[in-house]
Amino acid sequence: MQSFKYYAPTYVAFGRDTENRVAELVKKYGGTKVLLHYGGQSAIKSGLLPKVEKILSEAGIEYVKLGGVVPNPRLSMVRKGIEVCKQEGVDFLLAVGGGSVIDSCKAISSGRFYEGDVWTLYEHKDHATKYLPIGCILTIPAAGSETSDGSVITNDEVEGWLKKDYCVDEFRCKFAIMNPELTYTLPAWQTACGITDMMMHTMERYFSKDDDMEITDALAEALLRTCMQEGKKVLENPTDYNSRAQIMWAGSLAHNDLTGCGTSGDWATHCLEHELSGMFDVSHGAGLAAVWGSWARYTRGENMPRFARFAKNVMGVDTAGLIDLDAAEAGIQAMEQFFRSIGMPTNIHDLIGKEISDAEIADMADKCSTGDTHTVGGLKALCMADMVEIYKMAR
Amino acid sequence: MQSFKYYAPTYVAFGRDTENRVAELVKKYGGTKVLLHYGGQSAIKSGLLPKVEKILSEAGIEYVKLGGVVPNPRLSMVRKGIEVCKQEGVDFLLAVGGGSVIDSCKAISSGRFYEGDVWTLYEHKDHATKYLPIGCILTIPAAGSETSDGSVITNDEVEGWLKKDYCVDEFRCKFAIMNPELTYTLPAWQTACGITDMMMHTMERYFSKDDDMEITDALAEALLRTCMQEGKKVLENPTDYNSRAQIMWAGSLAHNDLTGCGTSGDWATHCLEHELSGMFDVSHGAGLAAVWGSWARYTRGENMPRFARFAKNVMGVDTAGLIDLDAAEAGIQAMEQFFRSIGMPTNIHDLIGKEISDAEIADMADKCSTGDTHTVGGLKALCMADMVEIYKMAR
């Protein structure tokens, strides 16, 4: 059992109409001048943004709006946000949207008082010491950013773009407002990408070298089974409140560290995917589904019994009489089958709609390994050559 | 699905040697003058208390000691603590011990700045507005007080004593230091009482009227199965680090509200037990085991399918072909069998070592229902007559 810290201080207000508490919660955490950060037109069309503006105004809370955050949120937008915060004297960041908007808020939070370039933080070359507090109204269950300590930003200012993360406890939202009704209008594709993302957050922690944290494993398995069961329901009936609620809460629990307590985790699939979405601007969840099976087959030898356990406890494979390798393969196939059943790709061709070239693979592996100078993955440390191999298996 | 709030802000430092971080964490949360609150001689004999004193001293943190907290912690000790805090200018409470010591700290925290009598708060007649911050080094996994918002205090100043709780978010510990090695010397009886207590914290939330929060149910079931599996291991081998770790972490997760998100819960067993331990000063965990089976049989009709699900998913009963009533009964019997296997009583006679009288039962039911003026229990609202019936079934 690895020693661990667990710190998930976000105040979660979950249920119908919880967005009505936004002014109360902003005030509770000291906000007087808010940056209202959001994505595209959907927040306006749905009526959520106007509603939030009305609630803030009526409570006497000043705000300034900054919309236009896109999936794989951009550094250029972060810079804009930092500028607005400085000019307007913003003291609280309110994200209305999904993980991209929250991650953009987090980057703005870290850059607001930082004297250097905010990208330096994402390059892990420095730490900020002062942050703006963040709250959110979640509309897309997926990234788990509403309770996580992480933020992933795409640097759109460099050739070929670069996607990097920065993780600090100061990035934990002060509050997260989660009303499942706000997710009714999410298209099936985005819903499925979200389900995949949250399952992968759990699986990245589950597939580790450690086999001695039974309670964490049992909770992770329960979470994964629930995601599959409720995910199918929600795709069949997008306005089923209860299923939307399960999926929404699962997204937060999958990434607030609960499913990784005492285990060391892997995270290679995320690293491999970041290059894919960095290069092709694809949905993160779909990118994860496209490479996971290949990653699993390439690395399973490091802990075959764990893959066999996964097959039995998560995928419901009858593993009696099977050797671990066969059980593991059956489990991987079953998970790929699930991904396909919710419309996810399980290879790169289906993800990007064309054959990926050797040069593109080489480029991604080069970036992912920072020119073969470092490895990724806790279960098996992958060097550049390993990455090339996995991308080719997944092509 | 019930709306819910989830707020578990405690910083958990889990693992070997984590007690070495005590001064760093006290400082992080603003402590400069500490009340070191503890129980009996075991904290001294084990060397933990002297170690903590040394670490605080070396870090330049002043402290004053107050030991002598007993199980079912007493109001008289709380008053003493409040007095010491006022006289010595204490600004941080550090509990070294189990739930009793932490609960005593919580009561002191609420009473320190409160102008009225602290017991008024436990009578739910008023709310304190200012609290002292609390941290803890946990040595007994059981009550879950290290991450919960609750505190239970026994008023030893009134005839027949009274046990009452007070729950506020300000009671959430700022930090909880959890080193499984510190629990190696816990006697089997206390270990088993702790396992029962944490399982009951989960079961009180699980047995509700609600059947629509699958993710919470799945997590609760995983937690319960783990407690039984690892509980048996830890009783066989008290110095098994991994099993001690599972049990220790399970105790926190069982009571930080994770297993109750979106469900309404019951809590009648706790209320019934508080009268037992108030009257006979028995261990809380053992008292819960003594009455749970009778409570379950008395109330299961309110949600028989849930008891049948419990039998299958938690107790591993083969429920195929059984009607719900038979499945439920088999599940209750299996849980009672587990309780007995770890040395717990499953009736009041085995708990107190004698026949309980009708007068004593009447007295407990009268107190528990405040003279038949209110009911307890979310699954089935129990009035005084129901309580008498359950106590008699459990006698």
pLDDT in tens, A61-95: 999 999 999 999 999 999 999 999 999 999 999 99
Distance CA B113, CA B90 (A): 12
B14 → closest Cβ in A3, A13, A250: A3
Q: How far is A222 from chain B (nearest CA, A)?
A: 5
B15/A4 CB distance under 8 A: yes
**Per-residue confidence of chain A (395 residues) as pLDDT tens digits?**
899 999 999 999 999 999 999 999 999 999 999 999 999 878 888 899 999 999 999 999 999 999 999 999 999 999 999 999 999 999 999 999 999 999 999 999 999 999 999 999 999 999 999 999 999 999 999 999 999 999 999 999 998 888 899 999 999 999 999 999 999 999 999 999 999 999 999 999 999 988 889 999 999 999 999 999 999 999 999 999 999 999 999 999 999 999 999 998 999 999 999 999 889 989 999 999 999 999 999 999 999 999 999 999 999 999 999 999 999 999 999 999 999 999 999 999 999 999 999 999 999 999 999 999 999 999 999 999 999 999 999 99
Which residue, chain included where needed, has tokens 């407990």?
B364
Distance CA A374, CA B358 (A): 74
A218/B241 CB distance under 8 A: no
Residue type for B148, please?
S
Which residues of chain B does A1 touch, with a Cβ-Cβ cutoff of 8 Å? 15, 180, 241-242, 245
Residues of B (182-211) whose Cβ lies below 8 Å from A: none
Tell me A356's DSSP state: P
Interior CA angle at B182 toward B71 and A205, to 5°?
Answer: 115
E-strand stretches of B175-271: 175-178
Distance CA B26, CA B374 (A): 41
Q: How far is B11 from chain A (nearest CA, A)?
A: 5
Q: How far is A55 from chain B (nearest CA, A)?
A: 20
A218/B230 CB distance under 8 A: no
Q: Quick one: residue A333, left, alpha or beta (phi over 0 = left, psi -120 to 50 = alpha)?
A: alpha
Which residues of chain B does A4 touch, with a Cβ-Cβ cutoff of 8 Å? 12, 14-15
CA dihedral B311, B315, B318, B322 (to 10 degrees): -20
Q: For chain A, say whether B250 makes contact (Cβ under 8 Å).
A: yes
A222/B219 CB distance under 8 A: yes
Q: At what angle do helices A214-236 and A241-253 cross, to 10 degrees?
A: 150
Distance CA B298, CA B292 (A): 10
Q: What is the DSSP string of B252-271?
A: HHTTSSGGGTT-----HHHH
The pLDDT score that the predictor gives to residue A1 is: 86
Q: How far is B223 from chain A (nearest CA, A)?
A: 7
The pLDDT score that the predictor gives to residue B42 is: 80
Q: At what angle do helices B214-236 and B188-206 cross, to 10 degrees?
A: 170
Residues of A (3-22) whose Cβ lies below 8 Å from B: 3-9, 11-16, 18
A222/B221 CB distance under 8 A: yes
The neighbouring-strand residues paired with B254 are: none
Which residues of chain A does B18 touch, with a Cβ-Cβ cutoff of 8 Å? 3
Percent of chain B scoring above 90 in pLDDT: 94
The pLDDT score that the predictor gives to residue A156 is: 93
The pLDDT score that the predictor gives to residue A357 is: 97
Predicted TM-score (pTM) of the model is 0.96
Distance CA B31, CA B132 (A): 10
- Cα B385 to Cα A8, A118, B289, B372, B382: the distances in Å are 43, 67, 21, 8, 8
Size (chain A), residues = 395
**Per-residue confidence of chain B (395 residues) as pLDDT tens digits?**
899 999 999 999 999 999 999 999 999 999 999 999 999 878 888 899 999 999 999 999 999 999 999 999 999 999 999 999 999 999 999 999 999 999 999 999 999 999 999 999 999 999 999 999 999 999 999 999 999 999 999 999 998 888 899 999 999 999 999 999 999 999 999 999 999 999 999 999 999 988 889 999 999 999 999 999 999 999 999 999 999 999 999 999 999 999 999 998 999 999 999 999 889 989 999 999 999 999 999 999 999 999 999 999 999 999 999 999 999 999 999 999 999 999 999 999 999 999 999 999 999 999 999 999 999 999 999 999 999 999 999 99
Distance CA A55, CA A70 (A): 25
What would the pLDDT profile of A15-44 be if each residue is shown by its tens digit? Answer: 999 999 999 999 999 999 999 999 987 888
